[in-house]
Structure 1
């Protein structure tokens, strides 16, 4: 039977570099979405505690002034703010997807989390490769959490920002038969001279993802508020590189069609769309890239889901077994 539900995406500014403030504001948006009958709500990339726009405006040495506050306000898995968000999903009987700057001891990661409507964490993941200046703040993810989750709303997956420009990553997601995809974006506020960073090009990436993967795409988007602008911009040169607004949230159907009337780019709010997973079968009948429309005899993908760790801890048993290893040199002498 076809699964039908109502989806919502957020277009709003965070409370910049204030994690508790972000959580308070998010809970208000979650409550509103639930009251409007939504079964899932999605927030944009690094909405907690806001995307670090200063990385695009000044040299790294200048940006050190932001590091401590941003680090201390990044989200910790199972920390009090994390638990508040899970409880909000449960209290409002709604699935919750959000992007966050995740703090793991001394390192930060661009992360996405998915909670079910009972407040259970279904999936946390980290962006595989931070983009350009993001690498001055964030570490890499790996394939161990690159996944699509089977839920009562269908098979849900998540990617962040320019991961939607990575063809192999998209194909890996398609291979897991994704039905609902969350495409998290921070806002389209910087470098008006760069078309590739603007709303037209990047919303097209979300739209094409829906068309290529024959899935629904929820594309939440942040907004750069005047308060954020006042923190970030201190020179005329910086003012030329960033502006207030940049919100272009949307939801796309499995044929690539936009399903919402967009909000003005500087306006905060929620967008809603009715989802019918049955419509995916129509789109798939034309082109299923990992099924009848694939040619694995010509091209195929290597997908490594192994967790990568900088330290492998060996037990005494492991060390004992290594003593039995025999290594032969080029002179065939045992070592």
Structure 2
């Protein structure tokens, strides 16, 4: 039995679009705000730094725009020093979506970084399959980064996936098999995209509830919304568009039996959704369904995850990576 309660927060906010420095400053401000509410675990939306590349959905492919996006993407661990410092100061575990740029290179990934309460980077997960137009921007992550992590002294294991990566059942089962207790499903606003206005929220809710029940985990679902910094950047740099509108996003905390613990929140205003999650409740759920135990039926179903290193820098980003003053 994991007899522990965790005060968790999920961020519903817009980044400072295409501005790595200002978006990182906003991350630190939100961590500070969460600390004032005694939050122990804080989850941020998909690629919160420097924002989701909506331009891939609005304009013809343009390598120059991807080059600009790369310049504002995050190099691990260099650009994360101030966030690691904030986690250390406020004693907070943070899960943050970033567009990651390979150190010393140009390849980009849709990544999720997990930082411990002492500032240590526990590890980085790279989305294994970019979706649709995302393939113009991000490379494919590998099974090497498909991991869960146990923050020091907590006893719980946490892992995350990005957006439609949740449709890959093998990726979800890989986290289940590692004994996941808390899952972070990182999302951008999708219900403001042309063609997804009436379906995006239903899709996200279905995927998040599916993982909550099948993995027997609490799901933290942070989301961004589209604000004027995004729309103005695209119009100024790429011209008028009518494919993406302001607003959107769906932010919530979900119980393993699929009830809402907090949220959902959908307004176009920054907010941290907060709830105390009682991990001892997982035992009751697993009495019914245990996705890593009696409900897995391993004599019938086989899960084979290739965790072979694919990219040269993967051992460097799958932590632990200490805070910068310990790396000197």
Asked if Structure 1 and Structure 2 have the same fold, meaning a TM-score greater than 0.5 normalized by the shorter chain, the answer is yes
Distance of aligned partners of 1:200 and 1:116 in 2 relative to their CA distance in 1, 3 Å threshold: same
C-alpha separation between the residues in 2 aligned to 1:197 and 1:75? Answer: 31
C-alpha separation between the residues in 2 aligned to 1:95 and 1:217? Answer: 15
Q: Secondary structure at the match of 2:302?
A: coil
Superposed CA offset, 1:130-174 (max 9, x none):
111111011111111111112333111111101111111111111
C-alpha separation between the residues in 1 aligned to 2:295 and 2:233? Answer: 50
Counterpart in the other structure of 1:126: 126
Equivalences for 1:1-335 in 2 at 5 Å? Answer: 2-60=3-61, 63-79=62-78, 81-104=79-102, 105-151=105-151, 152-153=153-154, 154-194=156-196, 198-233=200-235, 238-239=241-242, 241-309=243-311
C-alpha separation between the residues in 2 aligned to 1:71 and 1:192? Answer: 25
Larger relative contact order (Cα-Cα within 8 Å, sequence gap ≥ 6): 2
Counterpart in the other structure of 2:317: none
Q: What's the offset of the Cα at 1:209?
A: 0.8
C-alpha separation between the residues in 1 aligned to 2:263 and 2:220? Answer: 14
C-alpha separation between the residues in 2 aligned to 1:103 and 1:11? Answer: 24
> What 5-or-longer segments of structure 2 have no aligned partner?
314-328
Q: What's the offset of the Cα at 1:309?
A: 4.2
C-alpha separation between the residues in 2 aligned to 1:187 and 1:207? Answer: 18
Matched residues, number:
306
C-alpha separation between the residues in 1 aligned to 2:19 and 2:239? Answer: 24
Q: What's the offset of the Cα at 1:189?
A: 4.1
C-alpha separation between the residues in 2 aligned to 1:249 and 1:49? Answer: 19
Q: Secondary structure at the match of 1:221?
A: coil
C-alpha separation between the residues in 2 aligned to 1:261 and 1:74? Answer: 30
Q: Secondary structure at the match of 1:69?
A: helix
C-alpha separation between the residues in 2 aligned to 1:17 and 1:130? Answer: 19
The answer to whether the Cα contact below 8 Å between 1:10 and 1:249 also exists between their aligned partners in 2 is: yes
The answer to whether the Cα contact below 8 Å between 1:16 and 1:49 also exists between their aligned partners in 2 is: yes
Distance of aligned partners of 1:197 and 1:129 in 2 relative to their CA distance in 1, 3 Å threshold: farther
C-alpha separation between the residues in 2 aligned to 1:128 and 1:208? Answer: 19
Superposed CA offset, 1:101-122 (max 9, x none):
1011111111110111110011
- TM (normalized to structure 2)? 0.89
> What 5-or-longer segments of structure 1 have no aligned partner?
312-335
Aligned-residue RMSD, C-alpha: 1.8
Distance of aligned partners of 1:120 and 1:114 in 2 relative to their CA distance in 1, 3 Å threshold: same
Q: Secondary structure at the match of 1:267?
A: coil
The answer to whether the Cα contact below 8 Å between 1:101 and 1:110 also exists between their aligned partners in 2 is: yes
Q: Secondary structure at the match of 1:67?
A: helix
Q: Secondary structure at the match of 1:202?
A: helix
Distance of aligned partners of 1:163 and 1:182 in 2 relative to their CA distance in 1, 3 Å threshold: same
Q: What's the offset of the Cα at 1:10?
A: 0.5
Q: What's the offset of the Cα at 1:292?
A: 1.0
Superposed CA offset, 1:63-93 (max 9, x none):
33422321111100121x3111100111111
Distance of aligned partners of 1:136 and 1:158 in 2 relative to their CA distance in 1, 3 Å threshold: same
